[in-house]
Chain A
Amino acid sequence: MASEQNIKNKAHAALTKKAALGADIDLTAFADNATEKNYVSDPAKFSSEQKKQLESIGVEVAGGERAGTYMQLDHSIVHCSASNKGLEILSTDDALKKYDGLPSYWWQAVEPDADKYTARAALHQEHGYFIHAFEGAKIDYPVQACLYIGQEDIVQDVHNIIIVEEGAELHVITGCATDPQVKKGMHIGISEFYVKKGGKLTFTMIHRWGEEVAVRPRTGVIVEENGLYISNYICMQPAKNLQMYPTTKLVGPGAVSRINSILVAPTGSHMDVGGRAILDAPGTKAEIVARTISTGGIVINRGHLLGQSPETKAHLECHGLLLSDEGVIHAVPELEARTSNAELSHEAAVGKIAPEEIEYLMARGLNEEDAIATIVRGFLNVNIEGLPDALKREIDSVIQEFSLNRQ
């Protein structure tokens, strides 16, 4: 087990280590003098503008149909509560105290010296959530977590841990956003998720960043025997500089992961988003499905399947739709088999909407704009389990925006 000192030493050594992917962010460029925010016992007390922003990232401000809520504003925890007995929600700092440093979980799925961002988080970390579903607990409603940047020019470094114990089931919806006024800032998020034997974790993450915000999530997931991990990632607003490459490691026989993402890159966005699934035990299965749209921005969509155990099966699907001549979609699918009976496949298609598809709908009476909007809506319609209604409306409104803004 890595001792605390060990982690710090590693992090120190990696403080200037550039990440393998994505533009190098100058961390000294942020003033980062956040003020302490007050705890909000009732999240309904947020301003109406903030509430609107929160709802757009899937947060039920009133807490209805939620098994618990964690809210962090800049570096301060403003709300943390659980309403289900099978569940524990703490800040990671409190969890570290309560569980003697969480030796089996703390920096066990992500390396502290992976790059300068993980290193910074290891040294500067300010909270993050610890969500723990107890053995056998089937948590009926989703837990919502919100990481919010409310102040200009700060760096938010959070470290999140989710543990789904044996046979437990949990859905976590994480919304990350900046206050509508905030233009510049940085978010570093370390996330380590552990799905134990027969457990099920659905993790839905929605990003809505300010246009000048740099974002570097670093996520590692470990899934044990017959565990199931479903991840849905949605980013449909401009993000100047977003790079992430979550890695899911299926370590127990029969473990399954399904990773969906929906990315929409408007002009000015640079999104380098990928995912890796490591099939490390017999009979594991993985699926990565990405739908990307560029309305003028740059999207690099990566996917890597690594089959290193027998009887494994995985499929990678990336479809990109280019709705503007200025945009770029670069799909990088990778398949790597290290055993003769790993069955890995991929399907990638990037391009404009085929004119035949538009005309097909026009021949049924739709005008050109409605035909395009219909195709885009269908394109984004990957079956996302448990998507909150507010988010479905959000997706619809984004689709609506395309059809209106199309040149």
Chain B
Amino acid sequence: MLKLENLSVAVNDRPILHDVNLHIKPGEVHVLFGPNGTGKSTLISAIMGFARYTVTGGKIYFKGQDITKSSVDERARLGIGVMIQRPPTLRGLTVREMVQICGKKQVDVDELADKINMVEFLERGVNEGFSGGEIKRSELLQLMAQQPDLVMLDEPESGVDIENIALVGKSANYILERGMRKNGQTVKKYRTDRKKSGLIITHTGHILQYIPADTAHVMYQGTLACSGNPQEMLSCIQKKGYEECVNCAL
């Protein structure tokens, strides 16, 4: 689904990411751990193609196609969807209109909004006066309509209160089509039928309770330092901290 080859990225001429290699196959969900300021958000932004993030080396492939130089909207239409950490406010554009914009096909905005407890926000300006948690729910609602094949979530749990974390997790699973196994479906079939992929940044790991991830990576000082089983890595980081965790793997 997504393949990064030796990707290096600079922001305002300052190198942030160095030679990042990553391969996310269809149906896989990867998580990205890492301390603050290490370049996790930069990675997602570069994959989406935001102009501030200059690719200084390497390639981005999506569904086999080189998208390193594609525009943001081309990438979106190819099937990449993103929830950034701090989306801007769009004055005068309602959440309802935004969700309709996201929808590839006609979507039932009210029905989707109901799933994520956003019905009351539909007529409000996008992110206008929203709390941290409301922003996350609004982003997820947009992604539910957008139905991307690769979903990138930047710290989906941050600013979300305890009651709503499960809701965020459930909605992310909905977008990733990771619902319940259908009656009579074998575990194997359930796994191979999944096509949607995810790249989820989490600082705390809380969201892993709700979203089953296949692989985890630790980003450290702009490189992917190590990869492995999400739960094992999380407990290693929690016990020893990033520095030691990264060192042991290196």
Contacts and interface: CB of A to CB of B under 8 A. Distances in A.
A in complex with B = yes
Interface of A: 319, 354-357, 359-368, 371, 374-375, 377-382
B73 interface: yes
Given A359-B51, A363-B82, A368-B71, A374 B93 contact: yes
Chain B: interface residue count, which band?
Answer: 20 to 34
Interface of B is mostly: mixed
22 contacts: A359-B50, A360-B84, A360-B87, A360-B88, A361-B101, A362-B71, A363-B76, A363-B84, A364-B101, A364-B142, A365-B76, A365-B101, A366-B101, A367-B71, A367-B73, A368-B71, A368-B73, A375-B90, A377-B92, A377-B93, A380-B92, A381-B92
Chain A interface secondary structure, helix, strand, loop or mixed? helix
A136 to B, nearest CB: 34
Nearest to A354: B88
Contacts of B82: 363
Interface string B111-123: 0000000000000
Nearest to A291: B92
Interface in B116-170: 125, 142, 146
A356 B82 CA distance: 14
B81, B92, B93, B146 — which one has the most chain A CB atoms within 10 A of its CB?
A: B92
Interface string B63-80: 000000001110111000
A341 B146 CA distance: 50
A311 B16 CA distance: 54
Q: Which of B71, B76, B82, B125 has the most CB of A within 10 A?
A: B76
Contacts of A374: 90, 93, 97, 101
Contacts of B46: none
Given A355-B51, A374-B93, A378-B125, A362 B101 contact: no
Contacts of B32: none
Given A374-B93, A374-B101, A377-B93, A363 B72 contact: yes
B175 to A, nearest CB: 14
A34 B102 CA distance: 56
Interface in B151-200: none
A371 B73 CA distance: 10
Contacts of B125: 378
B128 to A, nearest CB: 10
B48 A363 contact: yes
A212 B184 CA distance: 77
Contacts of B146: 364-365
B51 A364 contact: no
A361 B87 CA distance: 10
A380 B142 CA distance: 23
Given A360-B88, A368-B73, 5 more contacts: A360-B87, A364-B142, A365-B76, A367-B71, A377-B92
A363 B72 CA distance: 6
Closest 5 CB pairs of A and B: A378-B92, A378-B93, A381-B92, A362-B72, A362-B73
A110 B36 CA distance: 62
Contacts of A371: 73
Contacts of A356: 88
Contacts of B72: 359, 362-363
A374 B73 CA distance: 14
B98 interface: yes
Query: Which residue among A357, A362, A364, A375 has the maximum number of chain B CB atoms within 10 Å of its CB?
Result: A364
B14 interface: no
A292 B32 CA distance: 44
A317 to B, nearest CB: 11
